[in-house]
Amino acid sequence: MPTGQGDVPPRHVKGNHRPPAMSPLAFLTNPATPGRKTERHRKARLAALGAGALLAIYALLLQFDMAPAWLGGGANSVSAVAPRSCGGHHQGPAVGSEYFHNRTVLYDSLSGPQEYSFLSSGKTSQSLKVSDLFEEKDGKLVPILKEQKVAVRANVLHVDRKEAHQMYQTVKRILSRYGFGDTAVWYQDPDMYHMSLWHASHHLDPVPASPREVGLEIVGVTQVTHKACPLRVSLDRVVLTSTGVVLGLWQLLSGTEPFDLRQQLRKNLPRSPETQLYDPVMLHTSFARILKGPDSRKGVGNESGNMASVLREAAEELDKELCGTQTTLSTLLYVEEWDLLALALDGRITPRLLPLRCGEPIT
């Protein structure tokens, strides 16, 4: 693989009405991907997003994070968060910057129980039920893929596979020990561990693109990746959201600041949805989604038979074992997702790997 490390196996597109998933660098010779030419009335759509935009965004986050029914959203639902941070031990030129501080404040807010209400209130008309996303077959979870009319076009930082697989093994070992079996947890494919930066189109505000426009977007993103330097990051904490998502929150130690990366992507992708999905300083990875309680009563931490305490203990252990993990992000993935949540659910994607080349500084 030309990039040395961001080696992502392309997924094959089922059916014949979609372009085949390309080899990651195929765009160098074949930038055109069949797309739809229909222009939509984006302004009307944006207006529809309107004042509720932020809520919708959090709803999307939630939807992506999938509230399991057994966690519920009511008064007696489980507030299972691991507010501990292993931060404060980070070292590097980016540590202590304004953005570093803002990330800490943001992560504190995501860890604290006060955020629990927004997570549960996110269950709006937009949100999906777990049963819409998975079915059980032969003792395994099988995602139910929903084809998108307009592909989601995401720019994400790809997590090096070596570290990703180590983290995956740790997450799986700990959750298994707590009794969560194959149908209780959906594990993110470690080959696809990533941190979302920017969407050129997302399903709340789809921006159709012709093959030519996709090619232009890739050129625009490549201009950013040629300047951007690899990001050395450290896992600041792992939280279990009230919707059951095991979420890693990262700090930047050195390299290009994510806030600057997003600003450059905004500039170079002028057709992007005005409303983006994440806080501009946030760096997060979804490791797993807990869908239901442990399969057996054999799991550790169930002495009390109290689900909340089982979850809390599991979350604390995940945090303790994983925080401080460092990795270098040296590849940006521009990825078309042909199914809803394709990156999360092993759906059909067309990825392009764009190495961060650390040229002239971003201005």
Q: Applying CB under 6 A, which residues contact ligand NAG? A: 98-99, 102, 179, 259, 280-281, 293-294, 297, 299, 302, 305, 307, 310
Two structure tokens written together for 192: 């696809």
Question: Is 259 or 338 the residue whose CB approaches ligand NAG more closely?
Answer: 259
Local structure of 279: helix, strand or coil? coil
Nearer to ligand NAG, 77 or 148 (CB): 77
**Residue 86 CB partners (closer than 8 Å, separation 6+):** 235, 236, 237, 319, 320, 323, 324
In the bound state with ligand NAG, the residue whose beta carbon lies nearer, of 99 and 187, is: 99
Residue 289 and residue 64: Cα distance in Å, rounded? 10
Least distance in angstroms from the C-beta of 80 to ligand NAG: 13
Q: Which is nearer to ligand NAG, 98 or 135 (CB)?
A: 98
Nearer to ligand NAG, 236 or 346 (CB): 236
* H-helix segments, the chain: 42-49, 53-65, 98-111, 116-121, 130-133, 161-177, 211-227, 258-268, 307-322, 342-345
Output the CA angle 10-13-16, nearest 5 degrees: 145
The minimum distance between CB 242 and ligand NAG, in angstroms, equals: 17
Is there a contact between 204 and 50 (Cβ–Cβ < 8 Å)? no
Nearer to ligand NAG, 130 or 150 (CB): 130
Tokens linked to 238: 């792992």
* Shortest distance (Å) from residue 335 CB to ligand NAG: 25
Q: Tally Cβ neighbours within 10 Å of residue 89.
A: 11
User: What is the closest distance, in whole angstroms, from the C-beta atom of residue 302 to ligand NAG in the complex?
Assistant: 4
d(CA 83, CA 2): 40
Q: Which residues pair with residue 234 across a beta bridge? A: 251, 326
Minimum Å gap between C-beta 331 and ligand NAG is 24
CB closer to ligand NAG, 299 vs 351:
299
Q: How far is CA 101 from the centre of its chain?
A: 22
* Cβ at position 307, least distance to ligand NAG in Å: 6
Provide, rounded to whole angstroms, the least separation between the CB of residue 305 and ligand NAG.
Answer: 4
Instruction: Give me Rg for the CA atoms of the chain.
Output: 20
